[in-house]
Amino acid sequence: MPKLEKLSRREKEILELLFRLGEASAKDVQAHMANAPGNSSVRTHLKNLVLKGYVNLKESGLKYVYSPAQDINEVSNSALSDVIDTFFQGEPVLAVNQLISGNLDEISDEDLRELEKMIREHRTRKK
| 3 is a domain residue | no
Range of the domain at 100: 88-126
The domain that contains 58 carries what CATH number? 1.10.10.10
The count of structural domains within the chain is: 2
The per-residue pLDDT for range 65-94, each reduced to its tens digit, is 999 998 888 888 888 888 899 999 999 999
From residue 34, alpha-carbon distances to 31, 77, 89 in Å are 8, 25, 33
Summarised one tens digit per residue, pLDDT across range 6-43 is 788 899 899 999 999 999 999 999 999 989 999 999 99
If asked whether residues 61 and 17 sit together in one domain, one would say yes
Residue 76 domain-assigned (yes or no): no
Give 40-68 pLDDT, tens digit per residue: 999 999 999 999 999 999 998 888 999 99
